[in-house]
Amino acid sequence: YTEETTSTIRTTCPYCGVGCGVLASVDATGVVSVKGDPEHPANFGKLCSKGSALAQTLGSERRLTEPYYQNKQAVMQQHRPIQLGNDFNTIDISDEPLTKPTDWNNVLDDIATRLNDTIAKHGRDSIMFYVSGQLLTEDYYVANKFIKGFIGNNNIDSNSRLCMSSAVAGHKRAFGADLVPGNYEDLESCDLLVLVGSNMAWCHPILFGRFLAAKKIDPSKKLIVIDPRRTDSCEFADLHLPIAAGTDTHLYNGLLHYLEQQGCCDERYLKQCNDVDLALEAAKTWSIDKVAQACKISADLIRQFYQLVAANDKTVTAFSMGVNQSKSGTDKVNAIINSHLYTGRVGKVGASPFSLTGQPNAMGGREVGALANLLAAHLDLSNGIHRQLVADFWQAPQSIAPEVGIQACDAADAILDGRIKAIWIMATNPVVSLPEADKFRRALAACDLVIVSDCSVDSDTVKCADIVLPAQGWGEKSGTVTNSERRISRQRALKPALGLAKPDWWILSQVATRMGLAGFDYQHPSEIFNEYVALTAYKNDPSQVPSISNQPRYLNLAKDLPMPILNRADYDVMTPFQWGDQRITMAHSNFIAITPSDSASLPNRHQRRSRPEANDNTESDNREHDNRRDKPHNGHSSTVHLRLITGRLRDQWHTMTRTGLAPQLNQHESAPMLTLHPDDAKQLGVEKGDYVQLHPRYEQNLPNKQQQKQRQPHNGAAVDSNTDIEVLEQKVIAQVAISDGMRVGDAFMPMHWS
Ligand code: SF4
């Protein structure tokens, strides 16, 4: 922020992975207004409802503005989400203040001391960072460097784990690298767009608009939507396949078999691929009739879909959370990619698989290695040369640990069994958004030290912190983000930060420095960005001895295009990076054989409790649905077994800590309705607006206190059951909406509310 920046500032929307360019104007009184940036190559001047309302979210309301200490046990008791058990520890909160403000100098010193003490007492592996696709790349880079290079473990994971890890693993299996084979122009130049598990009209609306605009000019372009629900995207579709949730691999195995039968292979491309025979062998039993039976739709619909794919060389398959957030998500991704490899439709104009990222900077996090199994700059954590290269580059005091660190969904167990003693959560709200969120809340209650950096006081996770740090938010912080097509854009400060809020990279660097670590003396985010760029120089030539003082080849991670090193002034004024339309050459791609057992295996009851999945289904599950109603009473059933599908609403974002502030966004849907098929509503005897209670089909597997006392973590420390908060029953009470766009047996609820 500078005093001169009072007119129009070019920045990027902080919501979805489209990464739209925004022109923000700040008037003399500091009031901000926004419009789309006509020169940004993602959106060309357009913004969706969420982006258009950004200025309404910039007030001081509900903001964290100063660091403070918190009596988390007392605060959690006050803010417990539902009825707690009788054995909940009653804490006297009558007199003691729940929070105690502090200043940066004191709290940064204190955190540094406590982290050093934790390492001394419990070892380097006892600390974890949980970060977020809301962070800027510079924040991500510093967090990753701090814990992997200097604390000395790989216990850093991002909330991108929840939405993108299947896509990352699928791309690595197929292409040997976490790359993006398509770009946004492909959505306009394709002849057939297939959406799988993606309500693009609501979740990536500007990209959807780009396709529709191209279709308007050339109505012969076709749109197919594969989704259990009839979403708004279907309004524009030529074909909708309402397959049973979780049966995507069957559908795509059948497609591969059909393409083989129709002679649709690209022989020249297949010569570059491995294991095609294995994949075809696994697919060969999937006739159209068998697929129809598995997916629970008509064979005619499937035949139409296969015929359209076979007939259109320029096919783009865009997929998102309905594919990725699944226990068989990686198989689903590879089943889709298999069909593109077989037809040679990869990395060509208008022909590619395309993963739509959910968050504004899920990609930036992957690029700087902020997952427990990644290394910065897409170097390989399992490769000792790469680990040494990065450690040398950072001048880290020890080598980088070879073991994959603790991942997001395992964090609660790691805390509860005593492996993790201190966790630092940045810019995310995991006690709402993680699977088994209540267990994670209990884990935070039991953790010795919980630090939360965030912007909003409304984050439920803030209520679980021992130390709360005010972070700068959109419009205050400055740095870079990477969108779904891996284009890097700038987010810029528009106005001074509220209160004492600081950038995450600054907070992390200050703590690292106060812990006695060298290499964190950053004064400006451009210095961090340039360090990261310098590290990418060795991506393709790890034999080089790395040094920032060398003159390396600055490479874009996936596309081998020059990436600039910037001085501070340039960094402040540069336009979004433009990669042009150069294509990746994939010399060797891999087919993955998707066997029925891969996709249809049903976890045992314990696994199911451990990994609840929203968008999954299996043959076995479907058989259960055949017998899913309790005994009728007065013509109705008091209980119906439903599969709950979750997703986003058009006008809300994540847990609504930002979009919930914009009145116009709350008008679209003001409450989390439970949508049922009319037949299920009739069976239950409920009508639109009635209230129903949902509870999990499988009981909670919460250990009682006696069991907790008996459980011994690997380091021998006892679990402190006195701090455990037990939620005896998860349940949700919701109002009913009724839609014939649902499948019988499915229910839908938006994911945004606590
Ligand atoms: Fe923001 Fe996504 Fe909407 Fe673009 S499409 S304005 S990035 S929410």
Please report how the helices 137-144 and 525-536 are oriented relative to each other, as an axis angle in degrees rounded to 10: 70
Which atom of ligand 1 is nearest to 18's Cα? Answer: 7
How far is Cα 356 from Cα 485, in angstroms, rounded to an integer? 8
* SS3 sequence of 467-506: EEEEECCCCCCCEEEECCCCCEEEECCCCCCCCCCECHHH
**pLDDT at residue 688, as a whole number:** 96
Q: Where in the chain is the domain with CATH 2.40.40.20?
A: 602-750
Q: Does 341 have pLDDT greater than 80?
A: yes
Residue 208 C-alpha to ligand 1 middle, in angstroms?
11
Q: Which atom of ligand 1 is nearest to the CA of 52?
A: 6
Q: Which of 274-288, 505-519, 541-555, 726-740 is predicted least confidently?
A: 541-555
Locate the ligand 1 atom nearest the alpha carbon of residue 207 and give its number: 5
- For residue 353, give the 3-state DSSP assignment: strand
Residue 554 or 515, more confident: 515
Ligand 1 pocket test, pick from 50, 184, 668 with the greatest ligand atom count within 8 Å of Cβ, gives: 50
Structure tokens at 554: 């600055």
* Residue-level pLDDT at 632: 56
Mutational test site, ligand 1, from 35, 40, 47, max ligand atoms within 8 Å of CB: 47
Phi-psi group of 43: left, alpha or beta (phi > 0 → left; psi -120 to 50 → alpha; rest → beta): alpha
Beta-strand ranges (E) seen in 126-182 are 127-131, 156-158
> Which has the minimum average pLDDT: 245-249, 315-319, 638-642?
638-642
Tell me which of 145-154, 388-397, 647-656 is least confident.
647-656
Output the six-digit token pair for 208.
């959807």
663-677 residue pLDDT tens? 888 888 888 899 999
Instruction: Name all residues whose Cβ lies below 6 A of ligand 1.
Output: 13, 15-16, 18-20, 43, 47-48, 50-51, 205-206
- Ligand 1 pocket test, candidate residues 54, 206, 233, 490, most atoms within 8 A of CB: 206
pLDDT at 442: 92
CATH 3.40.50.740-classified regions of the chain: 68-159+361-542
Place of tokens 């013509």: 635
Q: Dihedral of CA 267/268/269/270: which sign? A: positive
CATH 3.40.50.740 for domain 68-159+361-542, yes or no, is: yes
Which strand (E) or helix (H) includes residue 732? Answer: strand 732-738
Token pair recorded at residue 276: 């095609």
658 Cα–ligand 1 center, Å: 14
Q: Confidence band (pLDDT; 50, 70, 90) for 530?
A: confident
ipTM exceeding cut-off 0.95 for this assembly: yes
Do the beta carbons of residue 423 and residue 447 sit within 8 Å?
yes
- Check whether 582 has a pLDDT greater than 50: no
pLDDT value for 561: 45
Average of per-residue pLDDT values in the chain: 83
Tell me if residue 201 falls in helix, strand or coil: helix
Ligand 1 centroid–CA 20 distance in Å is 6
Beta bridge partners of 69: 100, 467
Query: Could you count the other beta carbons within 10 Å of the beta carbon of residue 748?
Result: 24
Question: For the residues 650-671, what does the mean pLDDT come to?
Answer: 84
Question: Mean of the pLDDT values across residues 279-287?
Answer: 96
Structure tokens at 10: 């070019």
User: 489 CA to middle of ligand 1, Å?
Assistant: 13
Give the separation between CA 152 and CA 128, rounded to whole angstroms.
11
Q: Ligand 1 centre and the CA of 665: distance in Å?
A: 13
Q: Are 27 and 38 in contact (CB under 8 A)?
A: no
- What's the confidence (pLDDT) of residue 558? 37
Residues of each domain in the chain carrying CATH 3.30.200.210: 8-57
CB atoms closer than 10 angstroms to residue 377: 23
Percent of the chain with pLDDT over 90: 58
Question: Can you list the positions of beta strands (E) in 406-563?
Answer: 422-426, 449-454, 467-470, 479-482, 488-491
Tell me the chain's radius of gyration from C-alpha atoms. 25
pLDDT digits (tens, 9 = 90+) for 352-407: 999 998 888 988 888 888 899 999 887 889 989 889 989 999 999 989 999 999 99
Q: Options 3.40.718.10, 3.30.200.210, 3.90.1150.10, 3.60.15.10; which CATH number does 8-57 get?
A: 3.30.200.210
Ligand 1 atom having least distance to the Cα of 204: 5
pLDDT of residue 565: 55
Compute, in angstroms, the gap from residue 177 CA to the centroid of ligand 1: 27
Which range is least confidently modeled, 337-341, 517-521, 616-620?
616-620
Cα 738 to averaged position of ligand 1 atoms, centre (Å): 29
Does residue 623 surpass a pLDDT of 50? Answer: no
> Which of 116-120, 273-277, 605-609 has the weakest average pLDDT?
605-609
CATH number of the 602-750 domain: 2.40.40.20
Compute the distance from residue 224 Cα to the ligand 1 centre, in Å.
Answer: 22
Contact between 495 and 59 under an 8 Å Cβ cutoff? The reply is no
Q: Please tell me the least confidently modeled range out of 96-105, 436-445, 725-734.
A: 725-734
Cα–Cα distance measured from residue 698 to residue 612, given in angstroms and rounded to the nearest whole number:
10
Best residue for ligand 1 mutational test, from 46, 48, 359, 490 (most atoms within 8 Å of Cβ):
48
Q: How far apart (Å, rounded) are the C-alpha atoms in residues 480 and 457? A: 25
What is the residue with the minimal CA distance to atom 5 of ligand 1? 206
Residue type, 20: C
Question: Is 419 within 8 Å of 713 (Cβ atoms)?
Answer: yes
From residue 262, alpha-carbon distances to 223, 259, 284, 291, 451 in Å are 22, 5, 13, 17, 58
Structure tokens at 242: 């309402």
**pLDDT tens-digit series, residues 699-724:** 444 444 444 444 333 333 222 333 33
Q: Ligand 1, from 20, 203, 210, 491: best to mutate by most atoms within 8 Å of Cβ?
A: 20
Q: How far is the CA of 471 from the centre of ligand 1 (A)?
A: 22
Q: How far apart are CA 726 and CA 706, in angstroms?
A: 13
CA of 206 to the centre of ligand 1 (A): 7
CA-closest residue to ligand 1 atom 4 = 20
Per-residue model confidence (pLDDT) at position 363: 84
Q: What is the pLDDT of residues 250-259, one digit of tens each?
A: 999 999 999 9
- Ligand 1 atom nearest residue 19's Cα: 7
Which fold, 164-355? Dimethylsulfoxide Reductase; domain 2 (3.40.228)
Expressed in angstroms and rounded, the spacing between residue 41 Cα and the centre of ligand 1 is 13
What pLDDT is recorded for position 366?
Answer: 84
Relative to beta strand 449-454, strand 467-470 is parallel
Q: Residue 583 CA to chain centroid, in angstroms?
A: 26
Tell me the C-alpha distance between 193 and 187, whole Å.
Answer: 7
Task: Write down the pLDDT at residue 639.
Answer: 81
User: Cα separation of 228 and 198, whole Å?
Assistant: 10
CB 493 within 8 A of CB 33: no
Ligand 1 centroid to Cα of residue 662, in Å, is 15
The DSSP-derived string for 326-379 is STTHHHHHHHHHHHHHHTT-SSBTTBEEEE--SSTTHHHHHHTT-STT--GGG-
Mutate to test the pocket of ligand 1, among 22, 43, 52, 648 (most ligand atoms within 8 A of CB): 43
Q: What is the pLDDT of residue 568?
A: 60
Residue 28: its pLDDT value, please?
84
Task: Please enumerate in sequence order all residues whose Cβ is within 8 A of that of 95, keeping only pairs 6 or more positions apart, or say none.
Answer: none
